[in-house]
């Protein structure tokens, strides 16, 4: 399922639930101009390698 990750790290379930409860549902809208494809070699974002960018063109 496509998703947008806003928080990275190795957090205990209780911490994730607490943060999620404080944020609640976000009813924000945005328009993406591109998405990036990454090869995930480990759980550490510093080790991720960007493979390609896909640009969206408005019609």
Q: Which residues contact 50 (CB under 8 A, 6 or more apart)?
A: 36, 37, 38
Domain residue ranges in the chain: 30-59
pLDDT tens for the chain, residues 1 to 59: 455 666 777 888 899 888 888 877 777 777 888 888 999 888 888 888 999 999 998 66
What span, in angstroms and rounded, lies between the C-alpha atoms of 54 and 52? 7
């Amino acid at each position: 399922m496509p998703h947008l990750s806003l928080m990275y790290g190795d957090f205990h379930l209780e911490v994730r639930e607490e943060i999620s409860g404080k944020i609640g549902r976000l009813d924000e809208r945005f328009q993406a101009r591109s998405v990036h494809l990454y090869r995930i070699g480990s759980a550490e974002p510093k080790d991720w390698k960007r493979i390609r960018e896909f640009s969206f063109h408005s019609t």
